Amino acid sequence: MIRFEGVHKWFGALHVLNDINLHVKPGEVVVVCGPSGSGKSTLIRTINRLEPIQEGKLVVDGMDLLDKRTDINKLRAEIGFVFQQFNLYPHLTVLKNITLAPIKIRKVPPKEAEAQAMALLERVGLPEKRDAHPAQLSGGQQQRVAIARGLAMKPKIMLFDEPTSALDPEMIGEVLQVMKDLAESGMTMMVVTHEMGFAREVSDRIVFMDHGVILETAEPEEFFKNPKHDRAKQFLKQILSPMH
């Protein structure tokens, strides 16, 4: 579904992605973790070319991202993306946030798009907020709407870039629950997160990165019990018991 082969990326002189090789299979849930500045957000943002890569091969849903003939808008429509800062459209209601892309891109009739949006709002537990504006919602609610917006195009892949990092602690659970339900429905997902509970319980594989390099790829049980790399051991120690 997503295949990185020897992918490199630089920001000026900074080598942010260094020889990335990774294959995400359909239906797989992959969590990417690592210290800040390790390139994990950049990694996930290359998949829908919010960040272009400079070298290597990246094939998503059969489309080559470095191929000039690839219609990037078409590819992006197949990939839902959820941001740390939600990025809902503040001038539109919740319902219109969700229906904008299906109506404008897929030419879904407005009535039908609204019905689909309502079904998605039910799924994330917010049907009563259909006519609210984003500013009237809590962070957790905004993020759930953002997930519904991402799902509105019926994507094959969902990408999450630190979806709970901007939330107050008591709102993290509701968002993770929606993501867990989504994972159980068979969605192919890639999630950048520090929520190790989620990683352990929901993911099929964990990718650990530092300094633009994938240092370790392992199943969650293995990763938490038996991290191979020293940096991964240190990272787990810091994140699981920050006081020590």
Partner 1 sequence: MDFQVVWDNLSYFFVGRYPKGPLGGVGLTLYLAVVALALSFVGGLILGLLSISRNRAVRWVSSSFIQIIRGMPLLMVIFWMFFLLPALFGKGMPASMTVITALTLFTSAYMSEIVRAGIMGIPKGQTEAAVSTGLTHRQTMLYVVLPQALRNMIPSFVNQFVSMIKDTSLAFIVGVAELTQIATQVNNRTMMYPTEIFLFIAVIYFVICFAFTELSRWLERRLAYTKSI
Q: Which is nearer to partner 1, 79 or 206 (CB)?
A: 79
Residue partners of 225: CB distance under 8 A and separation at least 6: none
Q: Find the shortest distance in angstroms from Cβ 224 to partner 1.
A: 31
Residue from 29, 145, 153, 202 that binds partner 1 (CB under 8 A)?
153
Among the listed ranges 23-31, 53-61, 148-156, 235-243, the one in contact with partner 1 (CB under 8 A) is 148-156
Residue from 13, 69, 128, 135 that binds partner 1 (CB under 8 A)?
135
Count of chain residues binding partner 1 (CB under 8 A): 31
Gap between the terminal Cα atoms of the chain: 40
- Specify whether the CB–CB gap between 77 and 103 falls below 8 A: no
Q: Is 154 in the site for partner 1 (CB under 8 A)?
A: no
DSSP secondary structure string for all residues of 33-57: E-STTSSHHHHHHHTTTSS--SEEE
Residue from 1, 59, 100, 196 that binds partner 1 (CB under 8 A)?
100
Cα separation, 244 vs 233, in Å, equals 13
Q: Is 25 in the site for partner 1 (CB under 8 A)?
A: no
Of 131, 45, 32, 117, nearest to 83 (Cα)? Answer: 45
Residue from 20, 22, 30, 101 that binds partner 1 (CB under 8 A)?
101
Q: Is 11 in the site for partner 1 (CB under 8 A)?
A: no
Q: Which is nearer to partner 1, 31 or 82 (CB)?
A: 82
Residue from 58, 88, 171, 175 that binds partner 1 (CB under 8 A)?
88
Cα separation, 232 vs 91, in Å, equals 43
Cα separation, 152 vs 175, in Å, equals 17
- Specify whether the CB–CB gap between 30 and 205 falls below 8 A: yes
Q: Is 50 in the site for partner 1 (CB under 8 A)?
A: yes
Among the listed ranges 20-28, 143-151, 180-188, 211-219, the one in contact with partner 1 (CB under 8 A) is 143-151
Q: Is 14 in the site for partner 1 (CB under 8 A)?
A: no
Q: Is 168 in the site for partner 1 (CB under 8 A)?
A: no
Residue from 21, 54, 136, 234 that binds partner 1 (CB under 8 A)?
136
Of 92, 117, 82, nearest to 103 (Cα)? Answer: 117
| φ, ψ dihedrals at 113, nearest 5° | -60, -40
Q: Which is nearer to partner 1, 48 or 203 (CB)?
A: 48
Residue whose token pair is 């500013």: 135
Angle 169-184/139-151 helices, nearest 10 degrees? 20
Q: Do β-strands 29-33 and 188-192 pair in parallel, antiparallel, or remain unpaired? A: parallel
The site for partner 1 (CB under 8 A) is made up of: 48, 50, 73-74, 76-81, 83, 85, 87-91, 100-101, 104-105, 133, 135-138, 146, 149-150, 152-153
